[in-house]
């Protein structure tokens, strides 16, 4: 079973009377343990597609199925459910909660997902230790390096057992050495833990971990596959 199946996703924005077609019938599937790289120039629709596939944004038309369950975009609660249960995000600018410590950033995500149990808390601590942040649990983000922040973001995205990880330019704010470390973590998550990873990037180094590369331009998939 595919982790995520997007079919004929169309997103049209109405801006000041003009019509902008951000996505023009994108179809893409993610399998467990698969790392898919989404490439394309700025304005090609990568972010919009990730927003729709990540249930942050509803499409104008099209279908989305996550872990075998169709998403009803007409019901915001259904989108919230999918984000809560199945999908984790990693962003270029980390988006950590600056007032919370490393551990609290992860625990808060568990809390929002209704999974702040001792079992998940242990798992969160384990993940943080595995990615080398065991000694930074009580640090606030301002005291962390860029690489450490991104690792916290990954740990937060995975908390509560999310099986699908969306990463937007995860190496853009990191130097090449730290970037490789982060890519190594993403690869391990996919290959050892069976999670699906979709990475939007301009960074050619990311291709080294990819199972598949798809390319977007003007809201369409132009390379890779559509369906």
Partner 1 sequence: MVDLSMKMLLHDRLRFALTTFGVAFSVMLVLVQVGLFEGLIGYAADTILPIRQADLWITSRNTQNIDFANYFPENLVNRVRSVPGVERADNLMVDFMPIHLPNGSSDGVMVYGLTHYWKWGVPWNVVSGNPLDLRGGPYMFLDDFATHRYGPFRVGDYREITNQRFRIIGVLHGLRSFTTIPVAFLDFYRAQALTDITFGKTAYILVHLSPGADRKAVMAEIRRRLPYNDVFTRKAWARRGQDYWIFKTGLGFNMGMIVFLGCLVGVVILAQTLYTTTMEHVREFGMVKAIGGDNGDIYRLLMRQAAVIAVAGYLAGTLLAFLIKPLAKKGDLDLILSPGLLATVFVATLALCLLASTVSFRKVSRIDPALLFRS
Interacting residue with partner 1 among 33, 60, 65, 111 (CB under 8 A): 111
Binding partner 1 (rule: CB under 8 A), the pick from 12, 57, 178, 180 is: 57
Encoded one letter per residue, x for contact with partner 1 by CB under 8 A and - for no contact, window 34-53 reads: -------------xx-xx--
Shortest spacing between CB 56 and partner 1, in angstroms? 4
Q: Which two tokens stand for residue 18?
A: 């003009």
Q: CA 159, 125, 90: angle at the middle one, nearest 5?
A: 35
Q: Which of residues 67-86 bind partner 1 (CB under 8 A)?
A: 76-77, 80, 83-85
| Cβ–Cβ under 8 Å, residues 133 and 155 | yes
Between 3 and 51, name the residue whose CB sits nearer to partner 1. 51
Residue 93 Cβ, how far from partner 1 at the closest point, in Å?
Answer: 5
Question: What does the alpha-carbon distance between residue 77 and residue 8 come to, in Å, rounded to a whole number?
Answer: 22
Told to check if 99 binds partner 1 by CB under 8 A, we report yes
Q: How many residues bind partner 1 (CB under 8 A)?
A: 36
Q: Is 172 in the site for partner 1 (CB under 8 A)?
A: yes
Contact indicator for 129, 137 with CB cutoff of 8 Å: no
At its nearest, how many Å lie between partner 1 and the CB of residue 112?
5
* Residue 3 or 105 with smaller CB distance to partner 1: 105
- Asked if residue 31 binds partner 1 (CB under 8 A), the reply is no
Q: Which of 40, 59, 62, 88 binds partner 1 (CB under 8 A)?
A: 88
- Minimum CB separation of residue 141 from partner 1 in Å reads 11
Q: Is 93 an interacting residue with respect to partner 1 (CB under 8 A)?
A: yes
The answer to whether residue 139 forms part of the interface with partner 1 (CB under 8 A) is no
Print the SS3 string covering the chain.
Answer: CCCEEEEEEEEEEEECCEEEEEEEEEEEEECCCCEEEEECCCCCCHHHHHHHHCCCCCCCEEEEEECCEECCCCCHHHHHHHHHHCEEEECCCCCCCCCCCHHHHHHHHHHHCCCCCHHHHHHHHHHHHHCCCHHHCCCCHHHCCHHHHHHHHHHHHHCCCCCEEEEECCCCCCCHHHHHHHHHHHHHHHHHHCCEEEEECCCHHHHHHCCEEEEEECCEEEECCCC
The footprint of partner 1 (CB under 8 A) covers 47-48, 50-51, 54, 56-57, 76-77, 80, 83-85, 88-89, 91-93, 95, 97-100, 104, 107-109, 111-113, 116, 156, 168-169, 172-173
């Amino acid at each position: 079973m595919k982790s995520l199946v997007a079919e004929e996703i169309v997103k049209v924005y109405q801006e000041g009377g003009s019509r902008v077609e951000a996505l023009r019938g994108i179809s893409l599937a993610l399998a467990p343990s698969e790392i898919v790289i989404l490439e394309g120039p700025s304005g090609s629709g990568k972010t919009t597609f990730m927003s729709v596939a990540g249930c942050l944004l509803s499409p104008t038309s099209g279908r989305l199925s996550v872990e075998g369950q169709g998403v009803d975009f007409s019901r915001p609660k259904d989108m919230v459910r999918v984000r809560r249960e199945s999908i984790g995000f990693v962003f270029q600018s980390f988006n950590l909660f600056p007032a919370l410590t490393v551990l609290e950033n992860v625990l808060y995500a568990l809390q929002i997902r209704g999974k702040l149990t001792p079992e998940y808390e242990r798992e969160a601590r384990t993940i943080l230790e595995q990615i080398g942040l065991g000694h930074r649990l009580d640090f606030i983000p301002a005291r962390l390096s860029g690489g450490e922040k991104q690792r916290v973001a990954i740990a937060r995205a995975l908390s509560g057992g999310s099986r699908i990880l969306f990463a937007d330019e995860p190496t853009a704010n990191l130097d090449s050495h730290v970037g490789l470390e982060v890519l190594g973590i993403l690869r391990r998550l996919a290959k050892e833990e069976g999670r699906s990873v979709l990475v939007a990037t301009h960074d050619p180094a990311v291709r080294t971990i990819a199972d598949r590369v798809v390319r977007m331009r003007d809201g369409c998939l132009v390379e890779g596959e559509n369906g």
